[in-house]
Amino acid sequence: MDQTHLGRSGLSVSRLCLGTMNFGPETSEEDAHEIMDRAHTEGVNFFDTANVYGQSAGKGRTEEILGTWFASGGGRRERTVLATKVYGSMSDWPNDTFLSARNLVRSADESLRRMQTDWIDLYQFHHVDLATPWDEIWQACETLVAQGKVLYVGSSNHAGWQLAAGSEAARARHFTGLVSEQSIYNLLTRDIELEVLPAAQHYGIGIIPWSPLQGGLLAGVLAKQDGSRRHNERNQKRVAEVRPQLQRYEDLCAEWGLAPADVGLVWLLHQPAVTAPIIGPRTMAQFESSLGAASLTLTTEQLDALDDIFPGKKPAPMQYAW
């Protein structure tokens, strides 16, 4: 598995990021441990989670599963670049949500406890908090970094201007600031090409795409004769909305002799500023099926053919102005 730097930082991470959102509600602790062990075997060292992950198993459950895996030893924690997120509500109390200094510091301590570790490699803001000033956010992060509890800071679901505002506020404080941004990005959803990608490139912020296959739509959904996605009313509606594009896409992948899921992932690896798409397997088989993409490359002609099916966006304002 190839490695790359996370944004402008010196931190080396694998070109695929293991997303753990299914660990707990969909994947048993034992199976999750096996997937993480296999990830290390394959050279995937970049793991992403969040304090709220756990859903039906309870918020925080996913971090706890990582904690028991780290506690089993064998250098598991030392070999892992661990990313978690903060923002979502962990209780009904008003200060257990968003990005206040209080919540940032207390949530970090709780995540460390659940994950049975002394440090978080990448602490990410799960969503933008327009009510909390950047100076307050950075003051809390500076404290966490000084204490050795956090090494790097990233964002998620932020707009381009928010990346700029945060980066400039950090620069004024002589603080490293954001090194990554986690955004939805795939062949079907290319909105971040307008302003987020240009801002990320300008500030040296690595992009970590989530939902790289648009909830499975880019994984060969039309060719699958069984499977819950075809029978889910909501997904059937989504498929119907883009069916002509998906049919062209799957036909093209078949012509190339490549799996649609692999093409969707490797396309992201060709995009500027992208560090590592997040793969979120429920099973070992799903994890194994994602590994092939990291060893593929697409030609210029293939990339152009994909752009013809799924048109991208020019950086703003060129997309809409003369």
Distance from C-alpha of 144 to C-alpha of 102, rounded to nearest angstrom = 12
For the stretch 3-41, pLDDT in tens is 999 999 999 999 999 999 999 999 999 999 999 999 999
State the pLDDT at residue 233.
76
Residue 230 has pLDDT above 70, yes or no: no
Distance from C-alpha of 22 to C-alpha of 169, rounded to nearest angstrom = 35
Burial label for 5, CB within 10 Å (0-12, 13-18, 19+), is middle
The highest-confidence range among 213-227, 234-248, 266-280, by mean pLDDT, is 266-280
Cβ-contact 214, 249 below 8 angstroms: no
31-64 in b/e form (b: 16+ CB < 10 A) is bbbbbbebbbebebbbbbbbbbbbeebebbbbbb
Percentage with pLDDT > 90 across the chain: 95
Distance from C-alpha of 200 to C-alpha of 160, rounded to nearest angstrom = 8
Confidence of residue 254 (pLDDT cuts 50, 70, 90): very high
- pTM of the predicted model as reported, rounded to 2 decimal places: 0.96
- Extract the tokens encoding 261: 């899921």
Which one of 3.20.20.100, 3.30.300.180, 3.40.630.190, 2.60.40.10 gives the CATH number of domain 3-309?
3.20.20.100
Active-site residue, selected from the candidate residues 53, 87, 123, 203: 53
Cβ-contact 132, 126 below 8 angstroms: no
State the pLDDT at residue 306.
98
Q: Which residues pair with 82 in a beta bridge?
A: 47
Q: What is the mean pLDDT of residues 239-258?
A: 97
Helix (H, G, I), strand (E, B) or coil at 59: coil
Q: Interhelix angle for 160-172 vs 196-203, to 10°?
A: 20
In which region does residue 187 sit, left (phi positive, over 0), alpha (psi from -120 to 50) or beta (all else)?
Answer: alpha
For the stretch 67-104, pLDDT in tens is 999 999 999 999 999 999 999 999 999 999 999 999 99
Q: What is the mean pLDDT of residues 100-110?
A: 98
125 alpha-carbon distance from chain centroid: 12
Q: Which residues pair with 155 in a beta bridge?
A: 125, 181
For the stretch 139-189, pLDDT in tens is 999 999 999 999 999 999 999 999 999 999 999 999 999 999 999 999 999
Residue extents of the structural domains in the chain: 3-309
Q: Is 53 a catalytic residue?
A: yes
Residue 226 has pLDDT above 70, yes or no: no
Q: What is the mean pLDDT of residues 90-119?
A: 97
Cβ-contact 136, 101 below 8 angstroms: yes
| Residue listed under structure tokens 């102005």 | 321
